[in-house]
Amino acid sequence: MQDSFIESLESRGLTRRAFLGFCGTIAAAIGIEGVTAADVAEAIESNSLIGTNGGLGEGALAPVIWMELGSCTGCTESFAQADNPDPATLILEYLALNYAETLSAAAGYSLEEAREETIEAAKGKYVVVIEGAVMTRYDGEILRIAGAPTCAPHESHLLHTCKDAAVVIAAGSCAVDGGFCAAYPNPGDAEGIQKYLKDNGVSTPVVNLPSCPVNPANLVAVIVQYLLLGPESVVAGLNEFNMPAAMYGETIHDNCERRGHFENGEFVYEFGSEEEAKGYCLYALGCKGPQTKANCPQVRWNRRVSWCVASGAPCIGCCNGDPRTTVRNWIDVDSPFLGRLKTLRLGDIAFQPTPVALGVTGLLTAALVVHGIGMKATGRTKGGAPFEKEREWDVKHGKKEPSTVPVVEEQVVVDFEEGK
């Protein structure tokens, strides 16, 4: 690393050591053998505005446009921690974050100009980060940005911006599957960016990085992988949900630090209990770790300080949305957050699986009891009713006479009388 780069880092409150440590996390998140922390550091430095490639503009091989749609700004928030800079934030700035409604110093026309310039100057090379859901209700009028609806069909600056990007990164679950905006009953017809682009004929590859908010380390990892190995490498590593398989391939549960307690059957049944103080497993509180695939336990959050389960909160499965549709929204899939199974819906009727299953079983038991009383009353409990003489159908269709065979009771009597 060049001195000027290190100096710049230090002037922003980040030591060389901390920076390299972060690069190690990034390398791990990329999850490709042979990609080391040093490679990551090199990629960031050589593509940064103040790195080896020199001054502003030139070095920015991959400018980033960050667009905020229907969101709570939590994803931006998880990056930008003003009084204690996060390496991820800094790195994103170094990589030329040319447009970000919340983070950019500029605003209004000049910022919109910057976006246009970036698109023109770096056609096919820039990266778009989407935060928040595409709000499609009322032809997109439900959310206007820069004087126009965000997502009018076929014509919107969202489509315009994404069309010529090298890659679109859906940062956080709202951008992936609509997130909280798209939760039942989804009043704003929110959807993920992948679906919106596909429905409107834009074929730029989308990389989905769910979680609520996005994990900054994963976001930077994708950008760095793009810089290091190109868009093909990023796309090749995606699973069927367009999520990097290396990051969303294993369940939280399989890498959870409380897993030992799970196996031992040591559970927290109630918040504020003794078990909670002992750090037991949160399964009984509805932890969705067993059915959620993400690298939270390995990459952790907030500079590896902690993550949900470590901090005592059951995983709520915030990575579980399906970006290809609006009907498998992660909140719908995982709520109630503190329940073991999801709430099911038939139209507008919501119900929990357990009461329904128990109800059906109870009704059945009652029906069997009633039936049993009927069987008893009709005298069928001691060997059943007497057999029919012939099958009904055969008799009705003239195949057989009802009494071709000796009548059963009589035969018994006959046998008996013959002294058998």
Partner 1 sequence: MAHLVHYPEAHPFVFRFTHWVNLICMLLLILSGIEIHYPVVPYLMGVARGVHMFCAFVILINLIFRIVAAGFIKSAPAYGTRETKLDMYTFFPQKDNRHQLWPWIKYYLFFKKEHPLGGKYGVPQKLSYLLIAVAILFMGYTGFCLWAPTMNIPFFAGFTTLVGGLMKVRVIHYFMMFFFICFTLIHIYLANIEGIDPTKVMLLGTKPHGGLTYSLETRNISGYDPMDEEIIVMEDKVVLEKD
Residues that bind ligand SF4 (CB under 6 A): 211, 252-253, 256, 258-259, 262, 281-283, 287, 289-290, 292, 294, 296, 307-309, 315-319
Encoded tokens for 61: 């091989």
Cα 280 to Cα 269: distance, rounded to the nearest angstrom:
9
Q: Of 226, 262, 301, 307, which one interacts with partner 1 (CB under 8 A)?
A: 262
Q: Tokens standing for 382?
A: 């001691």
What residues from 179 to 198 belong to the interface with ligand HEM (CB under 6 A)?
A: none
List the single partner that 254 binds among partner 1, ligand HEM, ligand SF4, none, CB under 5 to 8 Å by kind.
partner 1
What DSSP state is assigned to residue 283? G
169 - beta bridge partners? 129, 207
Applying the rule CB under 8 A, the residues between 294 and 323 that interact with partner 1 are 317, 320, 322
Does residue 290 interact with ligand HEM by CB under 6 A?
yes
Least distance to ligand HEM from the beta carbon of 388, Å?
A: 18
Distance between CA atoms of residues 208 and 222, nearest Å: 10
For residue 152, count CB atoms less than 10 angstroms from its CB and return exposed for 0-12, middle for 13-18, buried for 19 or more: middle
Q: What is the CA radius of gyration of the chain?
A: 32
Q: How far is the CB of 252 from ligand HEM (least distance, A)?
A: 13
Identify what 379 binds: ligand HEM, ligand SF4, partner 1, none; CB under 5 to 8 Å per kind: none
Asked if the bond preceding 213 is cis, omega within 30° of 0, the reply is yes
Q: Are strands 148-149 and 344-346 parallel, antiparallel or unpaired?
A: unpaired
Residue 187 touches which member of partner 1, ligand SF4, ligand HEM, none, C-beta under 5-8 Å by kind: none
Task: State which of positions 112-151 bind partner 1 (CB under 8 A).
Answer: none
Residues touching ligand HEM, count (CB under 6 A): 2
416 binds, among partner 1, ligand SF4, ligand HEM, none (CB under 5 to 8 A by kind): partner 1
Residue 403 within binding range of partner 1, rule CB under 8 A: no
| Two tokens, residue 38 | 């040093």
Minimum separation from the CB atom of position 249 to ligand HEM (A): 18
- CB nearer to partner 1: give 86 or 191: 191
d(CA 385, CA 77): 76
Taking contact as CB under 8 A, which single stretch among the options 51-59, 103-111, 124-132, 372-380 is the one that binds partner 1? 372-380
Is residue 21 part of the contact set for ligand HEM (CB under 6 A)? no
| Rounded-to-integer distance, Cα 121 and Cα 228, Å | 21
* DSSP three-state, residue 20: helix
Q: Which of 33, 120, 240, 348 binds partner 1 (CB under 8 A)?
A: 240
Choice between 115 and 261, CB closer to partner 1:
261
135/333 with CB nearer ligand HEM? 333
3-state secondary structure of 146: coil
Interaction between residue 274 and partner 1 (CB under 8 A): no
Pairing between β-strand 190-191 and β-strand 134-135 as defined by DSSP bridges? antiparallel
Q: How many CB atoms lie within 10 A of CB 58?
A: 9
Q: How many residues does the chain have?
A: 420
Range 204-215 burial, b when 16+ CB lie within 10 A, else e = bbbbbbbbbbbb
Q: What are the tokens at 127?
A: 């990266």
Backbone angles phi, psi at 65, to 5 degrees: -110, 120
Residue 340 Ramachandran class (φ > 0 left, ψ -120 to 50 alpha, else beta): alpha
**Cβ-based nearer residue to partner 1, 109 or 269:** 269
Q: Which does 319 bind (CB under 5 to 8 A by kind): ligand HEM, partner 1, ligand SF4, none?
A: ligand SF4
**Cβ neighbours of residue 201 under 8 Å, at least 6 residues apart?**
154
Closest CA to 303 of 41, 25, 9, 29: 25
3-state SS class at 381: coil
Q: Which of 53, 81, 104, 291 binds partner 1 (CB under 8 A)?
A: 291
Instruction: Report, in Å, the least distance between residue 248 CB and ligand SF4.
Output: 9
Q: Which does 154 bind (CB under 5 to 8 A by kind): partner 1, ligand HEM, ligand SF4, none?
A: none
Residues that bind ligand HEM (CB under 6 A): 290, 340
Residues that bind partner 1 (CB under 8 A): 240, 249, 251, 253-254, 262-267, 283-284, 288, 290-292, 317, 320, 322, 327-328, 333-334, 340-342, 344, 353, 357-358, 360-361, 364-365, 368, 371-372, 374-375, 378, 380-394, 404-405, 408-409, 411-413, 415-416, 420
